[in-house]
Structure 1
Amino acid sequence: MSPHNKLLEILNAISKEMTLKGLWQSTAPSNEALSSTQPFCVDTLTFCEWMQWIMLPKLEKMAKSGAALPSKSDMFSMAEEAFKRVEVDTKMLLSLVLKLDHCLRVTH
């Protein structure tokens, strides 16, 4: 399986898991919130919002277009900390974020 297809598979699994756990939102944050220049938009979005509205669409677009993928990824550390404040079981979601990090590191 190509790295781009593997990435799409992981992104799809993350979306499904977020939906299953009730972490997927039906309403997008404001354009102002989405325009943050801080890493992970920590000043305007929760980590789950950042994943749904920024990270997932950006990586999906890159994968579908065959663009060069990022070679460094350490979202797991941020996810691990952010999910401590989430009231649902995030073990599977953390595992998927770790798979995502690994996928991006090994494609180079």
Structure 2
Amino acid sequence: MTPNAKLLNKLLNLLEKRLKHINAWQVAQPDPAAFNSQTPFCVDTMSLEQWLRYIFIPRMQALIDAGKQLPTHCAITEQVEMVLSNNEKARVMEVTLAIDKLLTEQKIPSASLLKQV
């Protein structure tokens, strides 16, 4: 596993933890047809919380587990900022911003953030 894959794995675990903390993890699995959406973040067929839990995290985890190349661009923080309420937003955005920067800019997340995993 590459160093960035290890970091992404930690960040995905932290994202799951943060989503659970704000009660956004126990969302119902979308209907199978919802996964066929062609719109970004499947906004026409599922909630952001569903997209994170059932699409984003599993796909990133599958890439890591298979040893595949990670994406070189990621921009999910803006969607989180638009959708989540203010009191939920900051805790989740801290992690999604770290994921965006790791994949897009190869920027290593802060040690203090990684310690929270």
2:52 aligned residue: 51
Q: What is the CA deviation profile of residues 24-71 of structure 1, one whole-angstrom value per residue up to 9, with x for unaligned ones? A: 125311101122111110101111111111000000110121111111
- TM-score normalised according to structure 2 size: 0.82
Q: What's the secondary structure of 1:89's corresponding residue?
A: helix
Query: How large is the RMSD of aligned CA atoms in angstroms?
Result: 1.6
Distance across 2 between alignment mates of 1:75 and 1:26: 19
Distance across 1 between alignment mates of 2:59 and 2:87: 26
Contact 1:47 1:82 in 2 (8 A): yes
2:79 aligned residue: 78
2:69 aligned residue: 68
Distance across 1 between alignment mates of 2:95 and 2:42: 21
Distance across 1 between alignment mates of 2:86 and 2:75: 23
Distance 1:82 1:26, change over 3 A: closer
1:3 aligned residue: 4
Q: What's the secondary structure of 1:22's corresponding residue?
A: coil
**5+ unaligned residues in a row in structure 2: which ranges?**
107-117
Distance across 1 between alignment mates of 2:24 and 2:86: 10
Contact 1:71 1:104 in 2 (8 A): yes
Contact 1:75 1:101 in 2 (8 A): yes
Q: Percentage identity across aligned positions?
A: 24
Distance across 2 between alignment mates of 1:100 and 1:31: 27
Runs of 4+ in 1 over 4 A off after TM superposition: none
